[in-house]
Amino acid sequence: MIPILGGLLLSYLLGSIPTAYLFGRIFNGIDIRQHGSGNVGATNAFRILGKKLGTIVLLLDILKGVIAITVIGNIFHLDLVYLRVLLGVMVVIGHNWTVFLQFKGGKGIATSLGVLIGLAIQYEVLRIVLALTLFAWIVPFIITGYVSLASLIAAVVLPLAMFSVRTPIELRILGLVFCVFVVVRHIENIKRLLAGQERRVNFPFKRK
């Protein structure tokens, strides 16, 4: 039990590192929670901190998920599928509800992607799921410019893809859990989408 609890705790603390908040403080001298959407995720980092810092924040948030599944999983010898899944859930919980910012964190998209990448490294069957989920995010994002809508669509596609390729039951449950996490964290975005008030990304190749 000690290795399991240690791995879960370390995954949570890793996920809890508020990357966007730290970059805002260190490089811009601002509290990113007081700017833009107020979210401490990669999307708000792009808008407030710029493309360069936003890209670094995105990559680091993805890396948190990868490290939880691969490095922490291997260090604590948590090789069973359900244990890797628990590590993935904990790192995303840490990102979404970070202990370092009064349990108010990001929306978990980048870190969830990192978890899927980490699991795809461990389990080949998940590579098609990862590809389908990325496709389900990229296409709506390019068409609409809405990050939130693309994330919601990808979140719904994830468990469907998990079931379609007959992954282990633990991974199917993870897909459902991540879907619920994304919907819960995007309640305000859903309201703005329905009201036509959600901010979108304006691509240079599209006419206004």
pTM of the model: 0.94
Cβ neighbours of residue 102 under 8 Å, at least 6 residues apart? none
Tens place of pLDDT per residue across the chain (208 aa): 899 999 999 999 999 999 999 999 999 999 999 999 899 999 999 999 999 999 999 999 999 999 999 999 999 999 999 999 999 999 999 999 999 999 999 999 999 999 999 999 999 999 999 999 999 999 999 999 999 999 999 999 999 999 999 899 999 999 999 999 999 999 999 999 999 999 998 776 565 5
Report in angstroms the alpha-carbon separations of 40 from 44, 83, 92, 113: 7, 28, 13, 17
Q: What is the DSSP letter of 101?
A: G
